[in-house]
Structure 1
Amino acid sequence: MSKPKKIIDNPTSAELLRQFEAFESLEALYKDFPLARKLFHKMENASNEFLKIKKQAEILKVPDQFNERFASLGWIAYESMNMEVMQKAINIHDTEGKDAAEKILADSYDEETLKWGILRLNGNRDFKKRIRLTELAREDYLAGRHHACIPLLLSLLDGLVNDVSKHVGFFAVNVDITAWDCIAAHETGLQTLASILTKGRNKTNEAGISIPYRNGILHGRELAFDNKLVAAKCWAALFAARDWAGALDDGKKEPKPKEEVSWRQIFKQISETNLMKKSIEEWNPRISENIPYFPFEGNISSLPENTPEYAVAAFLDHWCNKRFGPIADALLYFTDTPKGKKACIARQDFGKHVPTSFKVLGVDDQAAAVTHVIAELRFKIDDQEKIKEVSVRAIYQDLENNASVRSMPGGQWRIVQNSFTGIIYAHSL
């Protein structure tokens, strides 16, 4: 019988671990043979950096540790799940028991977690269709109406998987919710969760339950399902399904051709990491009151280029003039989406409420790669002017769409769409 695969065996994690092992072998050679020290005279510094990276890489083990303890209870690890919450739950499970750990997990699905989780749903067309119902489920959940939100979430989960897979729903016997190199869609993840949630419940049960058994709940055999723990597990399953859908959008259903990484590339990455670290240490936030061109309105060409305020001002200028193609190009995306489709989505999202003008009031430099640009938007509603103030989150990315330091060349500022959630998704202003 073959040994069950683990999440850490996923190609991305496994390749990283293989490189660590190879590096350790090379380091041993360096220490034991004087000739090696001449060949690799910079090994000592690289070794110190590599050990730091390896220590941080212990986090790769957390999803497996989490699933080993919690999958049978109706929780699974997924990409967008808070890693600190996972680690804390594991520690509490091992020291205080599963009940205390499950309480920590359930409490983590609070208003803030749901807000960001639902915002991520907007990035997938099949999830976006169901945002209205998802928002209603959130209202019921936060109000403690678990009897209402649980059946709704189970229904949404089933339909979503059906649409994404174009085959069957989440609770079908022959459902396939796996994907290559994906935490949520690992065989110990959603696939295992589906088998637990679809267990038969053939007798009417008046006692409370802690797992959202779909058949018992929707067929009226479970009469005490309405509690926070069951509801939180439904949210977790929904967000995990979103990460699975994202993996499919990224082409991860089947393995990609293996790409060999040379030692030259590894040392180059370490060098770039050191440069990045130095740039972060040297970076200091600006004081908005000391920037002479705030508040700003007028021709955006008078703003300094490659600054977050310039990027946001250009974005707002495009919005005022209904240039949806450039709007789409400026946004931060979590998945690979064709350019034409991005423009259509931008038109749909930003075309309902269009400002007539804007003013940039100031900036809040929060990190070397992150700035919040405070802006004032003016709208014309029924011949009256209405003003909305927004805090627009801008993130500096390199050419590979990784967060970078603003002083590093070749990057660009991306606009986070949920900065405008209260405007673009509002029924009226």
Structure 2
Amino acid sequence: MVVDQFYECLGARNWVFHDSLSLDRVEALLSETSDAASAEERLIDLYRDEEITQWWLSQIRKLDGMKHRWHQVERAREHYHAGQFDSCALHLIAVMDGFVNDFEPDVRKGLVSRDPEGMTVWDSIVGHHLGLTHVLKTFGKTFKKRIDHEVFDLFRHGIVHGSVVNFNNVVVATKAWNMLFAVADWSVATAKASKPVESKPSWGEVLSALERQKRYRQYKDDFQPSQIAAGDSGFDTDELVARTTQFLDAWQHGRWALVVPFMQPEGRGVSGRKAGAFQARELYQRYNLSSFQICTVSYTQASSAEVVADATVNGTKTRITFRMVLYTVDGFAGMPGEDGAEWRLAMSSPQQFFP
């Protein structure tokens, strides 16, 4: 089994196989490497692929307690891709501690305060004996004195309390991402286990879902990449050009509540809108957009497109590039013309837009 092979190779190095990892990709990296160090390097490469991790993050963003800390997750991602690995790890430690603390309000225990054995989940891939509970023992290890040599594990206690001082490397930062996804899986499995068994979907619902899957597969098979540029016939009436213009106009005029619908799907309650507007302001207000001109929209793959625009930001003319994804109301990849499907930013943080 691929999961067992993964843990045989990487379990001792404190990596967790979480639900977002592709079995095919992991099987390939295990078969194409001869030792644990090489497999670890290949695994880290997966996390450094922004398109792959963007999809993983879209699956956990809507979790209650996670979406409220999404500005921290975005900041961690900015720092990770900028090579600021120590600050990335610190942001993610704070996110995990707070998320677990909020998960069970009656318990009110952060991640480091919990008994690792008490976080065992049986209906989840992270419940492997070398999975989350195993890694948490390293995560919570205490240090009585300063450690000056470089470490390659996520020692939460030593990092937060200043005992571990040399952890600014891609391995520690990536293990923080790895653990974030594992903790998210734990929360989902734990919540599922506490709920009564739901009734099975009706045949009509099953058939409807299967038909939708069939239509989406056909859409992907038939998709042909294309590009439309300023000055081309139909450019001004193109749906995504119009949608992108609305986003950039809201950014330019500081209408943060209007920026929220272009960010990734999440709850739309009143508190959600207010929190979203605050998050949008935090992300965008330091980038003063005073003018913009959309140059091209490239439909590069199904449900996804790349937008290139000339802009003036903080008084400097520059070129910005960002990806848009067509999302359904449930947060999955959508199809053109599908009810409720909207184009949204693949990455909400504007720092990723600049060369």
| Equivalent residue number for residue 207 of structure 2 | 267
Q: Please, which of 209, 214, 217 is the counterpart of residue 277 of structure 1?
A: 217
Q: Pairwise mapping of residues 332-371 of structure 1 onto structure 2 (< 5 A)? A: 332-333=264-265, 338-371=272-305
Q: Pairwise mapping of residues 153-302 of structure 1 onto structure 2 (< 5 A)? A: 159-166=94-101, 167=108, 170-172=111-113, 174=115, 183-184=125-126, 189-196=131-138, 232=171, 234-244=172-182, 246=184, 253=191, 255=193, 256-257=195-196, 258-289=198-229, 291-292=232-233, 294=235
Counterpart AA for 1:281: D
Give the conservation status (yes or no) of the 8 Å contact 1:280–1:368.
yes
Q: Please, which of 238, 251, 257 is the counterpart of residue 319 of structure 1?
A: 251
Which consecutive residues of structure 2, in runs of 5 or more, have no partner in the other structure? 102-107
CA distance in 1, matches of 2:332, 2:263: 14
The offset of 1:328, in angstroms, is: 0.5
More relative contact order, 1 or 2 (CA 8 Å, 6+ apart): 2
Q: Provide closer, same or farther for how the CA distance between residues 318 and 189 of structure 1 changes in structure 2, counting only shifts above 3 A.
A: same
Counterpart AA for 1:135: H
Counterpart AA for 1:195: K
The offset of 1:389, in angstroms, is: 1.6
Q: Please, which of 301, 305, 309 is the counterpart of residue 375 of structure 1?
A: 309
CA distance in 2, matches of 1:112, 1:364: 18
Structure number, greater radius of gyration:
1
Q: Provide closer, same or farther for how the CA distance between residues 279 and 207 of structure 1 changes in structure 2, counting only shifts above 3 A.
A: closer
Sequence identity percentage? 17
The offset of 1:394, in angstroms, is: 1.3
Q: Provide closer, same or farther for how the CA distance between residues 389 and 83 of structure 1 changes in structure 2, counting only shifts above 3 A.
A: farther
| Equivalent residue number for residue 83 of structure 2 | 139
Deviations 1:171-225 (A, max 9, x none): 55635656796655777532221125556899999999976677899999999x9
| Equivalent residue number for residue 76 of structure 1 | 16
Give the conservation status (yes or no) of the 8 Å contact 1:396–1:411.
yes
Counterpart AA for 1:163: G
Aligned residues: 336
| Equivalent residue number for residue 26 of structure 1 | none
Give the conservation status (yes or no) of the 8 Å contact 1:203–1:221.
yes
Q: Provide closer, same or farther for how the CA distance between residues 266 and 416 of structure 1 changes in structure 2, counting only shifts above 3 A.
A: same
CA distance in 1, matches of 2:268, 2:121: 16
Counterpart AA for 2:97: N
